[in-house]
Structure 1
Amino acid sequence: MIRHNGLHRERAKRPTLEAVAARAGVSRSTVSRVINGEGTVSDEFRAIVMHAVNELGYVPNSAARSLVTRRTDSIALVVSGSPVGARSDDPLFSATVRSATRELEEAGKRVTLMLADSTAGRLRVEQYAASGHVDGVVLVSAQGTDPLPAALARTGIPVVSLGRPTVATHAAYADVDNVGGATSAVEHLLAGGRRRIAAIAGPPDMVAAQDRLKGYREALRDTGHRSIIAVGDLTLASGADAMRQLLRDDPALDAVFVAGDLMAIGALRVLSESGRRVPDDVAIAGFDDIEAASYAVPALTTVRTPREGQARAAVRLLLRQIDGGPVSSTILPTELVIREST
């Protein structure tokens, strides 16, 4: 009996929503919106409320909140259709997932990471989302032929794609300007006097790779220069193989635009082995500005993509959609970083 009374008194002393509001100097409804992860509160007030929450040790009753809001406060971060080689070698993949996870956790959401690289895996994700286990999905889908974006859209659950999907759906997306970035890189090569500019494209079933190849072609469209293209799978080895193919196809080429930095670094090695000096004989420009780009020999000119910003933008779009706010897709600008390779 004594233990029961002590427990009752302990529960009675737990800080309330009203106590947090009083400590923060805001209304109870503002505290509620912050606790529920709604996107209608400014960053300033959100920080003030969370400071009060931490000071008082307030713990929201998640079960009661779920009954009222009909939300789980859980988000699925789904990685679908990524080529195995590209994912294991891509240093931007972990940064993208980490940034999205951090943004969700800061909004008070639990994150469920799900991989869907097979038909069974995609079906499992679709059923999990449709069963009400999560409030929404952030989808990282690399392949344009991936059926999961359309399947999730049919369930009616809020979905935001990290990258533009090829299949037309009503889902919003956050992407980077792949076309514009590629165009700026090729225009830079043209401005340097290069006239036989080849390209190493990424996988043809990747939307970003298609867009980067489109930017390359658009830059050459009105110049009278022909396109010279080889294809890789975003890995070092594929970049090296593609560069060997280009040198066989056109030994007189004087520049290469590469749709990924790892492939560009592989291409640099082949150029060195073939006796071509970079940039004197052949200039080369990559895409993404991974950390290794600045340590390549010579340092790689490349297109910097705001991958962490893209992940944060996707999460914010999803949270706004869950809250019932207006949502439209966004494309973030890229930046050409000029180094010694051009």
Structure 2
Amino acid sequence: MGKTRKNPDKAKDGGERQTVRTLADLGKIAGVTAGTVSRALAGNSLVNRATRERIEALAREYDFRPNQIASKLRRQKTGVVGVIIPLGHDRNQQISDTFFMTLLGHLADELTEYGYDLMLRRVIPDQDEDWLDRFIRSGMIDGVVVIGQSDQFDRIEDVANGYLPMVVWGNHQEGQRHCVVGTDNRLGGKLAAENLVSAGATSLAFLGDTQPIEFAARFGGAKDVAARMGVTIRALPTHLSADRMGGEIARHLRKIQGEVDGIFAATDAIAVACLKELREHDIDVPGEMKIVGFDDLPIARQTVPPLTTVRQDIAAGAKGLVDLLMRRLGGEDTESLILPPHLIIRETV
């Protein structure tokens, strides 16, 4: 009699064999993290011999072959990705800002899947003109993610000419050299303004600093709509630092009282502060003032009333940042990734 061929999809106990496609899949079977699997398969001495041999045996058993990206990771220099936040436009803004913390959390999760650690740096460019070059040349990182272009577009462009493993969270402009992941901010601004005007607003204010490229694009989109729909819009500079934002918004509201009935806030944080000030002055939202934010952070669902906002998919953005960075570490010159914004209608319009 001939030999019976084993079914590769059957486990040893006769049940269905678990499919292993990623480091995380193999880590679940081994009872370790994806990072430990990556280091074990790379022969990293930080993983003890018994664990390494057990993971290697499981990889053979499940016919798991790390993809080309994982092969590149075996030759990594440090196992660390630098994440840098330039604050040229507002030196008082803190990393504890809700947007930064949300994006950083997703970034850390994604980098762990590839066995990377994260090194975080906040910089004030006018105090350190060489902020990006020095970080890259430090020898401490294998690649870099820049969160926000701030007012540093030209500096980032210069570095992109000679440094491949860099990806930036920000706004994309036609012809730029650096690789960006971000939301279509101009379209997001259009969605916000259209919603305000369609709901009955006749005069709009944009609260935010129009110097950063992302905010300028949001304001630009809103201006396009205002011109098309025959309403006025003005920009009221508003800092993102908590120690200045509240006072500025209070002054803005006194200035526009009776003249503006629709606010487009550059961020959810600004929108939330607006709601607080309006409530303290007994101004009804959305009856007397309509508000749209930008980001759709978790707090947007918890305000009173819940905040209408433009959602940018921060989790998908973090995944895109890491995916493109890994490909660039492998030598690929990638295109930028532009994510579509979505209007989330709640109760402030």
Q: Say yes or no: does 1:221 pair with 2:227.
A: yes
Q: Is the 8 A contact 1:198 1:228 kept in 2?
A: yes
The secondary structure found in structure 1 opposite 2:130 is helix
Mapping 1:49-128, distance limit 5 Å? 65-66=74-75, 71-81=77-87, 83-88=90-95, 90-118=97-125, 121=128, 123=130, 125-128=132-135
Q: 1:124 to 1:193 in 2, by over 3 A?
A: closer
Structure 1 Cα separation of the partners of residues 300 and 198 of structure 2:
22
Equivalent residue in structure 2 for 1:266, among 269, 273, 277: 273
Structure 2 Cα separation of the partners of residues 189 and 286 of structure 1:
11
Structure 2 Cα separation of the partners of residues 323 and 98 of structure 1:
24
Q: Say yes or no: does 1:23 pair with 2:65.
A: no
The secondary structure found in structure 1 opposite 2:232 is coil
Aligned residue for 1:36? 71
Q: Say yes or no: does 1:188 pair with 2:195.
A: yes
How many residues are treated as equivalent by the alignment? 300
Q: Say yes or no: does 1:315 pair with 2:299.
A: no
- Name the structure with the higher helix share: 1
**Counterpart code for 1:94:** M
Aligned residue for 2:294? 287
Could you tell me the TM-score, scaled by structure 2's length?
0.74
Equivalent residue in structure 2 for 1:232, among 234, 238, 258: 238
C-alpha deviations, 1:75-105, integer Å up to 9, x for none?
2222222634433552111121121122112
Unaligned 5+ residue runs, structure 2? 1-47
Aligned residue for 1:301? 308
Q: Say yes or no: does 1:337 pair with 2:340.
A: no
Q: 1:13 to 1:222 in 2, by over 3 A?
A: closer
Q: 1:166 to 1:332 in 2, by over 3 A?
A: closer
| Greater shift in the superposed pair: 217-226 or 13-22 | 13-22
Q: Is the 8 A contact 1:78 1:139 kept in 2?
A: yes
Q: Is the 8 A contact 1:178 1:211 kept in 2?
A: yes
Unaligned 5+ residue runs, structure 1? 1-9, 39-64
Structure 1 Cα separation of the partners of residues 115 and 96 of structure 2:
31
Q: 1:214 to 1:156 in 2, by over 3 A?
A: same
Q: 1:22 to 1:179 in 2, by over 3 A?
A: same
Q: Is the 8 A contact 1:195 1:254 kept in 2?
A: yes
Q: Is the 8 A contact 1:259 1:286 kept in 2?
A: yes
Offset at residue 298 of structure 1 (A): 2.0
Structure 1 Cα separation of the partners of residues 49 and 314 of structure 2:
45
Structure 2 Cα separation of the partners of residues 248 and 157 of structure 1:
48
Structure 1 Cα separation of the partners of residues 264 and 52 of structure 2:
61
Structure 1 Cα separation of the partners of residues 279 and 308 of structure 2:
17
